[in-house]
Amino acid sequence: MPNNIFSASCQFVIALALATLSICDGLQIAIAGGTGNLGRLLLPKLVDHDVTVLTRNSFLASAPNKVTEVFGYLGKGFLKKHPHVTLRDWDGGDLLDIVGSDFLGWQEDALKNADVVVHMCGGYTEQREMATERLIRESFQFNKGAVHIAINPIEEEIPYISPGMVTVKTKRIQKCEDMVRENCSNSRCLRLEAFKREEACEEIFKTIQSLV
């Protein structure tokens, strides 16, 4: 009996040590734009990390059912299934288009301890530039050491993803990429095929894992 107790105790200690090691190896990741289709594929893969998804409306993004197309959505069930993912309100770079005060302090909560900041805001309006600039500017103040990963589509696919004003959108995406590359001391800029989401998701995941 004593030997069995000793053996069980050793197994418990080993299991606890492995669990602690796993936690220590995990990264703190902040993702802007993680409530879209690509985000839903990527987030479950990041189970060994602590992930904060920046959203402009965490209440709607975590509701039991999707009620609007204006804001991103993950859902109550998704978040319950993936407890390593938390939502945090932020301003998206546009302080004129934000209601309430839930976004205040997002820098402290999401950026200060982040190892990785992922730029996945999917729109092609000026909002994309504002979000990129906001993430970089606040990182200067709160966490210069974070690795910034910019996710953008390959240029040939832009007319099919978002028809109209292709030249403007192409320049806007390039500008966002340049901002990350020129202002972040440690960055990765990925150009991925938007219509191959599984492959694109795997490439993002591999890039993040290479930092562990």
Alpha-carbon gap, residue 89 to 112, rounded angstroms: 15
Can you give the pTM of this predicted structure? Answer: 0.86
Q: Say how many CA atoms lie within 13 Å of 122 toward its Cβ.
A: 15
| Predicted pLDDT of residue 206 | 98
What's at 156, amino acid-wise? E
What's at 141, amino acid-wise? Q
Q: Tokens for 160, please give them.
A: 């099919």
**The CATH number fitting domain 25-210, selected from 3.55.50.30, 3.30.420.130, 3.40.50.720, 3.90.1150.10:** 3.40.50.720
Helix (H) or strand (E) run with residue 92 in it:
none
The one-digit pLDDT tens for each residue of the chain (212 residues) are: 555 544 555 455 445 444 444 445 799 999 999 999 999 999 999 999 999 999 999 999 999 999 988 889 999 999 999 999 999 999 998 866 666 788 999 999 999 999 999 999 978 999 999 999 999 999 999 999 999 999 999 999 999 999 999 999 999 999 999 999 999 999 999 999 999 999 999 999 999 999 99
Secondary structure class of 89 (helix, strand, coil): strand
**Interval 94-136: pLDDT, tens:** 866 666 788 999 999 999 999 999 999 978 999 999 999 999 9
Q: Tokens for 157, please give them.
A: 């696919």
Residues 6+ apart with CB under 8 A from 32: 54, 90, 92, 117, 118, 119, 120, 121, 131, 135
